[in-house]
A and B are shown apart, each in its own frame.
Chain A
Amino acid sequence: MLLVGCLPTRRVLSWVRAFMIEVLGLSKTFSGSRLAVDNVSFEVRAGEVFGLLGPNGAGKTTTLRMLATLLKPTGGTATLNGFEITRDPQKVREQIGFLSGDMGLYGRLTPLEILNFFGKLNGMDAAHREKRIQFLVTMLDMQTFAGVRTDKLSTGMKQKTAIARTMLHDPPVLILDEPTSGLDVPTARAIETAIVDGKKAGKCVLYSTHVMEEAEYLCDRIGVISGGKMKMIGTMEELRAATGKQRLREIFLNLLEE
């Protein structure tokens, strides 16, 4: 009874504070090796795009994987839409749409089959699935290839399928792990549009990248991460003011040198 009573309160609280993602002192040590993520904290509001910017091996993927409950943190805590990642991993997964640069599509299935599968995993009934899939296929212009096995599709088509899968259950939080890595410009553009649309729809978007221009263009706030540590968090203006540099590239290099 107590638990049932608690849940709405926590949700209301997080709504009042408007933090969809709250990360507090999150750390991860892989067995017998270095500290991959070291005491990282940040918050992301609904309707905000937050970019994790850092070089390869900075701990971006590990941080996002912990938030998506794929990895267990060795220290600290994080809540997504009011649900704590180690206590309520199940609930956390219901809040998120997760997408990585590898896309992770089943090659022998068609986009429609993949979308139906993930719809079922998200507990959507047949009518609801049908409606959402129809909507996404039209929105992303997937009609021509929705029934073709994904291993026969172009990278752009695959990317659209992966975006549709991420958005399918209309999650309040989007976690995108280097979603544009290895994509050509038009294909990366589809991801950027999806991020902007998500923001407009009031979603909380957290994504990682090492592409400066993209971060500068899309993000409301940027967190620069290096060697597992959060170097600085702020809007572009705040970052410029703090470092005295104009371009994000220089800000970034400046922070890494510290």
Chain B
Amino acid sequence: MRFPIVSAIYQKEMLDLVRDRRTLISMLFVPTLLIPLLFSVGTRLISRMQTKAEEEAKSMAVGVRVSPSLREALEKAQIQIVETDNLKDAVLTKTIAAGVEEISGTPVEVEIYADNSNPTSSAAAARVRVALDDFKDEKVRESLRGSGIPASVLTPFVVKRTNLAGARKMAGMAWGSILGYLLLLMMFTGGMYPIIDMTAGEKERKTIEALLASPATRQEIVLGKNLAAVTAILITAMLTLGSIVYSLKGSNISSKVPEAQEMMRTIPLDVHSVTLIATTLVPLAMFEASLMFAIALFARSYKEGQSYLMPLLIVVVFPALMGGLSGLKMTLLLSVIPIFNASQMIRGILLGDASTANFAIMTAANLVYAAVAFVIATRQFENENVLFRS
């Protein structure tokens, strides 16, 4: 293995790569422009929908068939009410936001009708419920006063709940489910096009013959090309990470809960976490590069290369998504499942509870996979049946 030769191949591939439009789109355009755009449009849309539903719930009337005392209580809670005969149909046809019906008996039943698939109706029903609860408490308190029992019997104790997870940890939870998944997905797409180009593309354009007839050894060629692919994958990962951080910081999430806002704003990425995430991603990028290289080398053309690698995308997406789910505990066995282990680990790093043992096992496992995939890729490259398949 001669370093200057490997370096020459690496440099040539990088030059070729930055001049390829398809690669630039997947490597630069998608992470830096598309992700922020989707985030900003997405969050804006969600907050607009929420606001709209809340406003509608206030302005749209609630249909009632209730006794005057109940009616008065609802009006006191500033709920617009209207007498309606067929409550259920009116809710479903959206002429009223929700319906309230009083059914006489012992005890008296008050039924709320809502269409839970409609946010406006849900919000209106929730407001009615609060008003009814208040009215019920009021009635109980009145009765107690009459019988001379103190009102304090109503509240023998008060339940309080304190979230011990700080903003950092809560942010880790929210981020952990999505960040690992997005990173792993983007790494795959970022590496796919350069790798197809330097394998199947080189075969299709017949440049491979001159390369193979040069004094560079097959291993030097594979290593040089693989290093370029790993670079492309890591650049995509870095841009994706930076772009997600940037777009979340910039977006105005109009959540009513300050805690949730705080959670999204707190970016759990200090130098320590970033270093750990990078260390997680490097062996994985090496593994992905060699694996895709070995597969794409079979293809005779760029198009064929794409159809070979597309199924692999599903194999990547599924474990990446699973790894982000909360409730799964990282075990030794899970630490050796590729992709999944990295997704889980990124979640763990963001939450601040990644164990050193799991981290070591995951890194070792991914390095082993990378080495095996590299050997396979080199074998493929030495196989004339693969290189000159017709």
Contacts and interface: CB of A to CB of B under 8 A. Distances in A.
Interface residues of A, number: 32
Given A31-B385, A104-B207, A106-B207, A68 B12 contact: no
Contact of A121 (B8, B19, B208, B387): B8
A117 B12 contact: yes
Interface of A: 31, 65, 68-72, 90, 93-94, 96, 98-100, 102-109, 113, 117-118, 120-123, 149, 165, 175
B210 A118 contact: yes
B7 to A, nearest CB: 8
Nearest to A169: B215
B244 to A, nearest CB: 30
Contacts of A68: 209, 212-213
B209 A104 contact: yes
Contacts of A149: 19
Given A71-B384, A109-B16, A113-B15, A96 B213 contact: yes
B371 interface: no
Contact of A122 (B12, B206, B212, B215): B215
Contacts of B206: 100, 102-104
A32 to B, nearest CB: 10
B264 to A, nearest CB: 41
A93 B19 contact: no
Interface residues of B, number: 27
A68 B208 CA distance: 13
Contacts of A175: 213
Nearest to B19: A108
B5 interface: yes
Contact of B16 (A108, A120, A121): A108
Contact of B215 (A31, A94, A104, A109): A94
A105 B207 CA distance: 6
Contact of B213 (A31, A69, A103, A113): A69
A122 B16 contact: no
A99 B206 CA distance: 11
A121 B5 contact: yes
B205 A90 contact: no
Contact of A104 (B20, B205, B385, B387): B205
